[in-house]
């Protein structure tokens, strides 16, 4: 009765499938939650149909939608246009279906989206919405409103926080900010069994370690979306890893997000992986400015092959202005510890942050040249992007930026979106060309992509 849809991303179809990573598994957790509450749920992951064209994918969406009363669609900022098109296609054929959207983009812009003329979106689940979606689903399935938001439905959903919708009178209603799920261990493990077996070719499993982030980076919306940081227990993580291992479908695990946010957690995790003889190689995202030589050694012994880390800039001025409190010299030291144990590095840098100048850019390029990187390591340069919910989006005047690009499909960290007080669009374009030249010097022949 419920169909959950993950739109195809904007990645090119020639993406390397040797290490093809699962999408964010929030939708898989939602599917599991519905399943254990005896709600018939189907998962349609359009990333599993990369070889098909848009018309063929549309047919699959419509065929899959025919037997479901509620269609849930997730999206990011640069896939919102795809999610919106999916919703419009479904409503044009099945006008009595309820369309529910969720994800960070619609959570921050629900008012703007629902106020669009001729919108086909019925509800938006705002924020951390597993349980609000579950409650909303139960109400809609028990109603007899034929796809309409009746006064009876309105009266019932007023008691569910985190729901936005357009009332019959035409005004956008929001039921209030939802509380964080304090104990994220209570969420079920991702329903990977819901992925379509005949099209299943993900071989990198994402294991979410935490929700939220204590950092305050200007270009990230995570701290605003989740408000507080919560970390899963080792027992919960190992339970998921045993499921992944026993499925025999995966050859790599990616731990996400920064796994050394809490002192002692990283050491406990890798020691447990080693004790329990976890068989799959793995990678992770972490802050390298506070990693120790012992932790690097333990990571390698436990099967770590690669880490990804956001360095962003080598300029203390740029870092501080964008609330990235990280010492470039400590980063270099941490990278050295990891390279001492032959752990591959994916280092991420951001071009065009407020405070960036030609001089700070040169400083960062020289810094990259000084890092202890080897043939198997990679550098990735991304363009600063003001995602809705981030400080850059919310406080444009404070950061002295001018957003000239309003096509959200280009908010993919590969297109210029804004100018700064110090750099024009033309200057940023030239700098990005140089950054990509540097990036090419650090291209792994067979990448293990964990971002």
| Structural domains of the chain in order of their starting residue, each with its CATH number | 2-174 (3.40.50.280), 203-440 (3.20.20.70)
Task: Answer whether residue 80 shows pLDDT above 50.
Answer: yes
Measured CA to CA, the distance from residue 372 to residue 338 in angstroms comes to 10
Measured CA to CA, the distance from residue 269 to residue 253 in angstroms comes to 14
Assign 200 a pLDDT band (cuts: 50, 70, 90): low
Task: Answer whether residue 449 shows pLDDT above 90.
Answer: no
Task: Answer whether residue 12 shows pLDDT above 60.
Answer: no
Task: Answer whether residue 108 shows pLDDT above 90.
Answer: yes
Assign 196 a pLDDT band (cuts: 50, 70, 90): confident
pLDDT of residue 27: 93
CA-closest candidate to residue 309, choices 330, 292, 284, 328: 284
Task: Answer whether residue 202 shows pLDDT above 90.
Answer: no
Task: Answer whether residue 400 shows pLDDT above 50.
Answer: yes
Contact 304, 282 (CB under 8 A): yes
Task: Answer whether residue 201 shows pLDDT above 90.
Answer: no
Mean pLDDT calculated for residue range 12-21: 56
CB burial of residue 426 (10 Å; 0-12, 13-18, 19+) = exposed
CB burial of residue 122 (10 Å; 0-12, 13-18, 19+) = buried
Of the candidate ranges 252-266, 366-380, 433-447, the one whose mean pLDDT is the lowest: 433-447
Quote the percentage of the chain above a pLDDT of 70: 94
pLDDT of residue 447: 47
DSSP state string for 65-89 = HTT-SEEEEE--GGGHHHHHHHHHH
Task: Answer whether residue 295 shows pLDDT above 50.
Answer: yes
Q: What are phi and psi of 106, to 5 degrees?
A: -70, -25
pLDDT of residue 13: 52
Quote the percentage of the chain above a pLDDT of 90: 81
> pTM for this structure?
0.93
pLDDT tens, position by position, 363-394:
999 999 999 999 999 999 999 999 999 999 99
pLDDT of residue 129: 92
Task: Answer whether residue 169 shows pLDDT above 80.
Answer: no
Query: Kind and range of the H or E element at 383?
Result: strand 378-383
Please list the alpha-helical segments (H only) found in 221-357. 222-226, 234-247, 265-275, 293-301, 316-321, 328-340
Task: Answer whether residue 265 shows pLDDT above 70.
Answer: yes
Assign 227 a pLDDT band (cuts: 50, 70, 90): confident
pLDDT of residue 450: 46
Query: Kind and range of the H or E element at 310?
Result: strand 304-312
Of the candidate ranges 19-33, 76-90, 210-224, 280-294, the one whose mean pLDDT is the lowest: 19-33
Task: Answer whether residue 133 shows pLDDT above 80.
Answer: yes
pLDDT tens, position by position, 297-310:
999 999 999 999 99
Q: What is the mean pLDDT of the chain?
A: 92
């Amino acid at each position: 009765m419920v169909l959950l849809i993950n739109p195809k991303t904007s990645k090119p179809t020639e993406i390397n499938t040797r290490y093809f990573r699962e999408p964010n598994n929030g939708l898989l957790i939602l599917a599991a939650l519905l399943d254990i509450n005896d709600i018939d749920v189907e998962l349609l992951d359009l990333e599993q149909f990369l070889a098909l064209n848009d018309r063929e994918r549309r047919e699959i969406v419509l065929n899959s939608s025919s037997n479901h009363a509620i269609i849930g669609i997730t999206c990011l900022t640069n896939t919102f246009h795809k999610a919106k098109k999916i919703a419009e296609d479904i409503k044009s054929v099945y006008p009595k279906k309820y369309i529910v959207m969720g994800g960070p983009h619609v959570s921050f812009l629900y008012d703007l989206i629902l106020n669009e003329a001729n919108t086909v979106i019925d509800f938006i689940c705002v924020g951390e919405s597993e349980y609000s979606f579950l409650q909303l689903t139960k109400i809609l399935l028990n109603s007899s409103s034929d796809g309409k938001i009746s006064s009876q439905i309105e009266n019932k959903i007023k008691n569910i926080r985190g729901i936005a919708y357009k009332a019959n009178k035409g005004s956008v209603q929001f039921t209030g900010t939802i509380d964080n799920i304090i104990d994220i261990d209570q969420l079920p493990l991702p329903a990977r069994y819901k992925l379509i077996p005949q099209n299943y070719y993900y071989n990198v499993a994402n294991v979410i370690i935490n929700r939220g982030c204590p950092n305050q980076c200007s270009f990230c919306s995570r701290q605003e979306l989740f408000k507080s940081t919560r970390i899963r227990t080792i027992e919960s993580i190992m339970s998921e890893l045993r499921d992944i291992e026993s499925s025999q479908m995966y050859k790599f695990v990616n731990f996400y997000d920064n796994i050394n946010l809490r002192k002692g957690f990283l050491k406990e995790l890798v020691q447990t992986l080693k004790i329990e003889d976890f068989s799959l190689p793995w990678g992770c995202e972490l802050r390298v400015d506070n990693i120790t030589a012992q932790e690097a050694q333990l990571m390698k012994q436990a099967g770590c092959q690669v880490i990804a880390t956001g360095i962003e800039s080598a300029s203390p001025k740029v870092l501080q202005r964008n609330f990235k409190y990280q010492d470039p010299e400590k980063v270099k030291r941490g990278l050295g510890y990891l390279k001492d144990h032959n752990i591959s590095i994916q280092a991420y840098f951001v071009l065009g942050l407020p405070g960036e100048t030609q001089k700070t850019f040169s400083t960062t390029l020289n810094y990259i040249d000084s890092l202890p990187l080897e043939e198997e390591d990679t550098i990735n340069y991304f363009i600063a992007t003001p995602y809705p919910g981030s400080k850059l989006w919310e406080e444009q005047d404070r950061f002295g930026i001018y957003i000239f690009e309003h096509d959200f499909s280009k908010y993919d960290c590969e297109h210029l979106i804004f100018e700064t007080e110090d750099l024009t669009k033309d200057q940023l374009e030239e700098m990005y060309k140089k950054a990509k030249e540097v990036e090419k010097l650090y291209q792994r022949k067979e990448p293990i992509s964990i971002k």
